[in-house]
Amino acid sequence: MSQEALDQELVRAYVMAAHKDFEEVKALVNLEPGLVNAVMNWGGDDWESGLGAAAHTGNRDIAEWLLERGARMDIYTAAMLGELEVVKSILAVQPNAINAPGPHGIPLIHHARMGKEQAKDVYDYLQSITKLEEVQ
Protein backbone atom coordinates (compact mmCIF):
# COMPACT_ATOMS: atom_id res chain seq x y z
CA MET A 1 0.00 0.00 0.00
CA SER A 2 1.61 3.25 -1.06
CA GLN A 3 1.14 6.54 0.69
CA GLU A 4 1.79 9.95 -0.72
CA ALA A 5 4.82 11.70 0.70
CA LEU A 6 4.15 14.49 3.11
CA ASP A 7 5.10 18.00 2.12
CA GLN A 8 8.59 18.57 3.54
CA GLU A 9 7.83 22.16 4.55
CA LEU A 10 4.88 20.87 6.58
CA VAL A 11 7.13 18.24 8.20
CA ARG A 12 9.74 20.90 8.93
CA ALA A 13 7.11 23.18 10.53
CA TYR A 14 5.81 20.27 12.64
CA VAL A 15 9.24 19.17 13.89
CA MET A 16 10.22 22.75 14.67
CA ALA A 17 6.96 23.29 16.58
CA ALA A 18 7.47 20.07 18.55
CA HIS A 19 10.51 21.64 20.21
CA LYS A 20 8.30 24.09 22.13
CA ASP A 21 4.88 24.97 20.66
CA PHE A 22 2.24 22.50 21.84
CA GLU A 23 -0.69 24.40 20.29
CA GLU A 24 1.01 24.48 16.89
CA VAL A 25 1.80 20.75 17.12
CA LYS A 26 -1.86 20.01 17.82
CA ALA A 27 -3.02 22.21 14.94
CA LEU A 28 -0.60 20.62 12.48
CA VAL A 29 -1.38 17.04 13.51
CA ASN A 30 -5.10 17.75 13.34
CA LEU A 31 -4.52 19.11 9.82
CA GLU A 32 -2.33 16.14 8.81
CA PRO A 33 -2.40 13.11 11.16
CA GLY A 34 0.46 11.49 9.22
CA LEU A 35 2.83 13.98 10.81
CA VAL A 36 2.79 12.00 14.07
CA ASN A 37 5.56 9.73 12.78
CA ALA A 38 7.07 12.03 10.16
CA VAL A 39 10.80 12.70 10.36
CA MET A 40 12.99 15.47 9.05
CA ASN A 41 16.52 14.91 7.81
CA TRP A 42 18.43 18.02 8.77
CA GLY A 43 21.44 16.76 6.83
CA GLY A 44 24.42 14.65 7.76
CA ASP A 45 22.14 11.77 8.80
CA ASP A 46 20.53 13.95 11.49
CA TRP A 47 16.98 12.56 11.56
CA GLU A 48 14.43 14.03 13.94
CA SER A 49 10.75 13.36 14.56
CA GLY A 50 8.36 15.57 16.45
CA LEU A 51 8.57 13.11 19.33
CA GLY A 52 12.36 13.30 19.21
CA ALA A 53 12.20 17.10 19.31
CA ALA A 54 9.90 17.02 22.33
CA ALA A 55 12.16 14.46 24.04
CA HIS A 56 15.45 16.33 23.81
CA THR A 57 13.83 19.60 24.88
CA GLY A 58 11.99 18.02 27.82
CA ASN A 59 8.49 18.80 26.54
CA ARG A 60 6.66 16.01 28.32
CA ASP A 61 3.17 17.27 27.41
CA ILE A 62 3.95 17.26 23.70
CA ALA A 63 5.64 13.85 23.91
CA GLU A 64 2.77 12.23 25.81
CA TRP A 65 0.19 13.74 23.44
CA LEU A 66 2.08 12.40 20.41
CA LEU A 67 2.41 8.94 21.97
CA GLU A 68 -1.34 8.89 22.60
CA ARG A 69 -1.77 9.48 18.87
CA GLY A 70 0.50 6.65 17.79
CA ALA A 71 3.99 8.12 17.76
CA ARG A 72 6.64 5.43 18.11
CA MET A 73 8.45 5.35 21.45
CA ASP A 74 12.23 5.19 21.28
CA ILE A 75 14.93 5.00 23.94
CA TYR A 76 15.45 8.77 23.96
CA THR A 77 11.78 9.46 24.65
CA ALA A 78 11.68 6.69 27.24
CA ALA A 79 14.67 8.28 29.00
CA MET A 80 13.05 11.73 29.07
CA LEU A 81 9.76 10.31 30.34
CA GLY A 82 11.48 8.37 33.12
CA GLU A 83 10.61 4.93 31.74
CA LEU A 84 13.49 3.12 33.43
CA GLU A 85 12.36 -0.41 32.58
CA VAL A 86 12.00 0.48 28.89
CA VAL A 87 15.49 2.01 28.85
CA LYS A 88 16.97 -1.01 30.65
CA SER A 89 15.20 -3.43 28.29
CA ILE A 90 16.51 -1.70 25.19
CA LEU A 91 20.04 -1.50 26.59
CA ALA A 92 19.93 -5.20 27.51
CA VAL A 93 19.31 -6.07 23.86
CA GLN A 94 21.31 -3.24 22.32
CA PRO A 95 24.00 -2.15 24.82
CA ASN A 96 25.66 0.23 22.34
CA ALA A 97 22.48 2.34 22.33
CA ILE A 98 23.85 4.13 25.39
CA ASN A 99 26.39 5.84 23.13
CA ALA A 100 24.26 6.20 20.00
CA PRO A 101 23.63 9.85 19.19
CA GLY A 102 20.05 11.01 19.14
CA PRO A 103 18.72 13.88 17.03
CA HIS A 104 21.38 16.58 16.54
CA GLY A 105 23.90 14.19 18.12
CA ILE A 106 22.36 14.71 21.56
CA PRO A 107 23.32 11.85 23.92
CA LEU A 108 20.88 9.63 25.75
CA ILE A 109 21.79 10.94 29.18
CA HIS A 110 20.84 14.49 28.10
CA HIS A 111 17.32 13.24 27.35
CA ALA A 112 17.08 11.84 30.88
CA ARG A 113 18.37 15.13 32.29
CA MET A 114 15.66 17.00 30.38
CA GLY A 115 13.04 14.78 32.04
CA LYS A 116 13.94 16.47 35.33
CA GLU A 117 12.72 14.88 38.57
CA GLN A 118 10.41 12.44 36.77
CA ALA A 119 13.41 10.95 34.96
CA LYS A 120 15.90 11.07 37.84
CA ASP A 121 16.00 7.26 38.16
CA VAL A 122 16.87 6.95 34.47
CA TYR A 123 19.51 9.67 34.73
CA ASP A 124 21.08 8.02 37.79
CA TYR A 125 21.03 4.61 36.11
CA LEU A 126 22.68 5.92 32.93
CA GLN A 127 25.33 7.71 34.98
CA SER A 128 26.06 4.55 36.95
CA ILE A 129 26.53 2.33 33.90
CA THR A 130 28.58 4.98 32.11
CA LYS A 131 30.92 5.14 35.10
CA LEU A 132 31.15 1.33 35.11
CA GLU A 133 32.20 1.37 31.42
CA GLU A 134 34.87 3.97 32.17
CA VAL A 135 36.35 1.77 34.92
CA GLN A 136 36.51 -1.35 32.75
Tell me the CATH number at 115: 1.25.40
Residue range of the domain that includes 116? 8-135
Question: Could you read off the pLDDT of 5-40 as tens digits, one per residue?
Answer: 899 999 999 999 999 999 999 999 999 999 999 999
What pLDDT was estimated at residue 5? Answer: 87
How many domains does the structure of the chain reveal?
Answer: 1
Tell which residue, 32, 115, 120, 44, has the closest CA to residue 77.
115
**37 Cα distance to chain centroid:** 11
Residue 3 in domain: no
93 within some domain: yes
What would the pLDDT profile of 44-92 be if each residue is shown by its tens digit?
A: 889 999 999 999 999 999 999 999 999 999 999 999 999 999 999 999 9
